[in-house]
Amino acid sequence: MAQYFLEQARVTDFIAHLLAHHTVYAPHHRGGRSFAFEKTSDPEAVVLDYPRVLNAVKKFFLPPREVLLHFDLTRDTAAVPKVEPIDAVFLGVHSYDLAAVRRLDFNFSTGNPERNYLVRRKGARFIGVSYVPDKHHFAGSVGIDPYDMTGCDMFLTKHADGWIVDILTGEGSELAAGFKLEAHDEPKPRRAHFTQHVFVPQARLGQVMEASYDHPVWNETAETCLSCGTCNLVCPTCYCFNVEESVGIDCTNGHRERSWDGCMLRGFTEVAGGEVFREKVAARQRHRVYRKFKYISDVTGQPWCVGCGRCTASCTAKISIVEIVNRLIRDSERDESILT
């Protein structure tokens, strides 16, 4: 692994170098306070020092809406749109969002592999960037610190005068080829200070969740929850979707479309015949939290929440997943027999 230094004054030159050879997606300002990952055309518009983007890079590999199939009944034909690898550089990805991509890779390659997602993922190269945790981040509690370079081809660590550059793979070397970087060997920051914490590791959290199915926190949270589904839609590890078919007015042709859905939305839990299997908001809240810390975690041993803090930062009702989980932990610890 080689380490270099990029002065702040040369950051736009480096982005211009990337743009001369590649398609680049990077964080940009959106509105007054938000940031979004978008295709880059102007190096000056890229923001590398940001708290979080509204939607993670997931949106490129699993688009919010996509047509899966066109059909024409007059010709008795169906056509599947061609899906190509996204041959691009994702510049400025935070470690928790890359951890989320790895979790989605597991979800979409286990059981019945999901072709569209896996094809799109193939061409992606990642340049990670460190961040300063804000009042909502708690990635440290799920084992992902701001300097975690796992999955990156190159990583930029913030320094007072610029960025320390780690080149981690052959792809990373190719991205830097032709751009002069100074050699650098000073020690880097390795630990960050998080103000939000989940207080037990996943191994014990599984037991806490097991014991908390009937905990009053679900009903209490449901009293203020609007069941709007925002927490699902911003979550980088949520991947539930709906599939609908639209048919033209003459019933001769149409298409099948997939779109993001969320377990906090009542309609998601409604099945044919009108049965709603999680009618109560409390049941939907419990399901949301269990999807992050129990159901998939029981299989993989890892939390399926990456501690990005988006669900809390975006919630109109100010419902905090950290507060819910810590309440369950606290109450479970009162009954020590739960935590063996």
Q: What residue ranges bind ligand SF4 (CB under 6 A)?
A: 225-231, 234-237, 264, 292, 305-311, 315-317, 319, 321
Q: How far is the CB of 7 from ligand SF4 (least distance, A)?
A: 33
List the one residue out of 50, 30, 26 whose CA is nearest residue 133: 50
Q: How far is the CB of 203 from ligand SF4 (least distance, A)?
A: 18
Strand partners, 39: 25
Q: H or E stretch including 27? A: strand 23-30
- Of 3 and 227, which CB lies nearer to ligand SF4 in the complex structure? 227
- Of 129 and 165, which CB lies nearer to ligand SF4 in the complex structure? 129
Q: How far is the CB of 319 from ligand SF4 (least distance, A)?
A: 4
List the one residue out of 203, 201, 221 whose CA is nearest residue 264: 221
Inter-CA distances, 153 with 3, 167, 284, 289, 335, Å? 13, 6, 38, 32, 46
Q: How far is the CB of 314 from ligand SF4 (least distance, A)?
A: 6
User: Quick one: CA torsion of 23, 27, 29, 34, rounded to 10 degrees?
Assistant: 140
- Of 109 and 316, which CB lies nearer to ligand SF4 in the complex structure? 316
- Of 40 and 285, which CB lies nearer to ligand SF4 in the complex structure? 285
- 159-195 exposure pattern, b = at least 16 Cβ within 10 A, e = fewer: beebbbbbbbeebbeebbeebebeebeeeeeeeeebe
Give Cβ neighbours of residue 9 (< 8 Å, ≥ 6 apart).
162
- Of 15 and 225, which CB lies nearer to ligand SF4 in the complex structure? 225
- Dig out the tokens for 302 from the structure: 């890892």
- Of 159 and 284, which CB lies nearer to ligand SF4 in the complex structure? 284
Cβ atoms of 297 and 304 within 8 Å: the answer is yes
Q: How far is the CB of 148 from ligand SF4 (least distance, A)?
A: 15
Give Cβ neighbours of residue 316 (< 8 Å, ≥ 6 apart).
226, 228, 230
Q: How far is the CB of 143 from ligand SF4 (least distance, A)?
A: 13
Give Cβ neighbours of residue 299 (< 8 Å, ≥ 6 apart).
none
Q: How far is the CB of 120 from ligand SF4 (least distance, A)?
A: 21
- Of 128 and 303, which CB lies nearer to ligand SF4 in the complex structure? 303
Q: How far is the CB of 219 from ligand SF4 (least distance, A)?
A: 13
Q: How far is the CB of 95 from ligand SF4 (least distance, A)?
A: 12
Cβ atoms of 32 and 96 within 8 Å: the answer is no
Give Cβ neighbours of residue 326 (< 8 Å, ≥ 6 apart).
197, 198, 199
- Of 205 and 319, which CB lies nearer to ligand SF4 in the complex structure? 319
Phi/psi zone of residue 301: left (φ > 0), alpha (ψ -120 to 50 degrees), beta? Answer: left
- Of 151 and 307, which CB lies nearer to ligand SF4 in the complex structure? 307
Say how far residue 186 (Cα) sits from the centre of its chain: 32
